[in-house]
Structure 1
Amino acid sequence: MPQAAEIDLASITKRYGDDAVAVDAISLKIKAGTYCCLLGPSGCGKTSTLRMIAGHESVTSGDIRLGGVVVTDLPPARRATSMMFQSYALFPHLDLVDNVAFSLKMKGVAKAERRERALGMLKLMHMDQYASRRPAQLSGGQQQRVALARALITSPQALLLDEPLSALDPFLKVRMRAELKRLQRDLGVTFVHVTHSQEEAMALADLVVVMSNGRIEQAAAPREIFHRPATAFVASFMGEHNVLSGKVTALDEVGATLTCSGGAAFRLPAAAHLELGGPAQAAVRRDRIRIGEAAALGLGFTGHVRNVEYRGGSMKMTLDAPGVEDFTVYADEVAFDAAPHEIGQAAPLAWSLADVHVLRPSLQ
Structure 2
Amino acid sequence: MTKAAEIELASVTKAYGNTVAVHAISLKIPAGTYCCLLGPSGCGKTSTLRMIAGHESITSGDILLGNANVTDLPPAKRGTAMMFQSYALFPHLDLVDNVAFSLKMKGVDKDTRRAKALDMLKLMQLEPYANRHPAQLSGGQQQRVALARALITDPEALLLDEPLSALDPFLKIRMRAELKKLQTSLGISFVHVTHSQEEAMALADLIVVMNDGRIEQAAHPRTVFERPATAFVARFMGDHNVISGRVSQTENGSVTLSVPAGADFRAEGSAAETGEPIDIAIRTDHIRIGETAIEGFGFTGTVSNIEYRGSSVKLTATGAGIEEFTAILGDKVFFSNPVKVGEAIQLSWAPEDVIVLGRAGN
Q: TM-score range by the shorter chain?
A: over 0.9
Name the counterpart of 1:358: 356
Counterpart contact for 1:38–1:193, Cα < 8 Å = yes
Name the counterpart of 2:83: 84
Counterpart contact for 2:253–2:270, Cα < 8 Å = no
Instruction: Describe the SS at the equivalent of 1:184.
Output: helix
Mapping of 1:90-101 within 5 angstroms? 90-101=89-100
Name the counterpart of 2:300: 302
Name the counterpart of 1:339: 337
State the 1:254 CA deviation: 4.8
Correspondence 1:14 to 2:14: yes
State the 1:363 CA deviation: 4.7
Partner Cα distance (1:218, 1:195) in 2: 15
- Encode CA deviations 1:191-212: one digit per residue, 9 max, x unaligned: 1000000000001000000000
- Give, as a single letter, the amino acid of the residue that structure 1 aligns with 2:107: G
Name the counterpart of 1:109: 108
Name the counterpart of 1:232: 231
Name the counterpart of 1:243: 242
Partner Cα distance (1:124, 1:246) in 2: 54
State the 1:75 CA deviation: 1.0
State the 1:265 CA deviation: 1.0
Partner Cα distance (1:346, 1:29) in 2: 48
- Give, as a single letter, the amino acid of the residue that structure 2 aligns with 1:151: A
- Encode CA deviations 1:18-72: one digit per residue, 9 max, x unaligned: 2x11101100011111110000000000000000000110001111111121111
Partner Cα distance (1:172, 1:271) in 2: 45
Partner Cα distance (2:167, 2:361) in 1: 33
Instruction: Describe the SS at the equivalent of 2:72.
Output: coil
Counterpart contact for 2:35–2:192, Cα < 8 Å = yes
Query: What CA RMSD, in Å, does the superposition of the two structures yield over aligned residues?
Result: 1.1
- Give, as a single letter, the amino acid of the residue that structure 1 aligns with 2:264: A
Mapping of 1:37-56 within 5 angstroms? 37-56=36-55
- Give, as a single letter, the amino acid of the residue that structure 1 aligns with 2:6: E
Q: TM-score, normalised by structure 2?
A: 0.98
- Give, as a single letter, the amino acid of the residue that structure 1 aligns with 2:104: K
Query: What percentage of aligned pairs have identical amino acids?
Result: 68
Partner Cα distance (1:94, 1:263) in 2: 65
State the 1:134 CA deviation: 0.8
- Encode CA deviations 1:55-103: one digit per residue, 9 max, x unaligned: 1100011111111211111111111110000000111111111110011
Instruction: Describe the SS at the equivalent of 1:156.
Output: coil
Mapping of 1:137-156 within 5 angstroms? 137-156=136-155
Partner Cα distance (1:132, 1:88) in 2: 18
Name the counterpart of 2:221: 222
Name the counterpart of 2:135: 136
Runs (5+) with no aligned partner, structure 2: none
Instruction: Describe the SS at the equivalent of 2:326.
Output: strand
Counterpart contact for 1:81–1:156, Cα < 8 Å = yes
- Give, as a single letter, the amino acid of the residue that structure 2 aligns with 1:31: P
Counterpart contact for 1:2–1:187, Cα < 8 Å = no
Instruction: Describe the SS at the equivalent of 2:165.
Output: coil
Counterpart contact for 2:37–2:207, Cα < 8 Å = yes
Name the counterpart of 1:311: 309
Mapping of 1:119-130 within 5 angstroms? 119-130=118-129
Correspondence 1:288 to 2:307: no
Deviates more, 1:102-111 or 1:227-236: 102-111
Correspondence 1:173 to 2:172: yes
Runs of 4 or more above 4 Å deviation: none
State the 1:246 CA deviation: 0.7
